[in-house]
Amino acid sequence: MGGERDRLRDALASKTPLTWVLTGDSITHGLLHTRGERNYVDHLHELIRGDMGRVQDALINTAISGWRVTQLLKDFDRRVAHWHPNIVTLMIGTNDCSTTAKAGVVAPHEFAASVTEFVQRVRKIGAIPVLQTPPTIDIAHAPERARIAEFAQATRDVAARQDVILIDQFARFTELGAGGVAHHLLNDPFHPGATGHAVLALEIARVLGLQAPPASDRVLPHLAQRVADAG
């Protein structure tokens, strides 16, 4: 991972335009549950192309609500390769862990194998993969997704074995929920609301080292204040 972290750091320090593909399921798709406010991809767009002044970078959101990692693999060319990305982020697992999906029940090790394949495909096209664990959910009101922690751990395991940059959103939501459910970050049992998306964006920025110069640093302080006020 040191090599890919170094590559990312050097890429951000250069003036060469970067193409970012952010993919996953409904959380990254970012519809409805922010109630008209920005989702985390939108925040990153403003941070990178606005505050950081990387105006020629492109951020492409190819996530689709309801999807699992196996569907992303089948549609990899359209969802990822077509855009010739430099960086690809993947947040997945909230649907994969469901025990009531028509596609059938997936074991954590099967999920891990698919995520591993995704990472390998991203590297094959020359891009830097970034894995995100899914955020925590209100299991009491979404019992079909009670295995979410196992799938978050499976993502961590893949990141460790494959030496991939990891953004542990599950751990961050757990922290902000004081070890329990971070209700103030959710719009329903398993979709983050607007404040939850602020948390997602802040954690990505922190881990990837996305920071604007002091004179134009607007997005991150605003998001941090929103999270503080909601807590």
Residue 205 sits in a domain whose CATH number is: 3.40.50.1110
Q: Does residue 231 fall inside a structural domain?
A: no
Task: Supply the mean pLDDT for the chain.
Answer: 94
Q: What is the pTM of this model?
A: 0.95
Q: Does residue 36 fall inside a structural domain?
A: yes
Show the tokens assigned to 211: 């920071």
Q: What is the pLDDT of residue 33?
A: 77
Question: pLDDT at residue 102 above 80?
Answer: no
Name the phi and psi angles at 131, rounded to 5: -100, 140
What's the number of domains the chain is made of? 1
Question: pLDDT at residue 1 above 60?
Answer: no
Q: Is 103 left (phi over 0), alpha (psi -120 to 50) or beta?
A: alpha
Place of tokens 């302080």: 221
57-99 residue pLDDT tens: 999 999 999 999 999 999 999 999 999 999 999 999 999 999 9
Range of the domain at 26: 2-225
Q: Does residue 230 fall inside a structural domain?
A: no
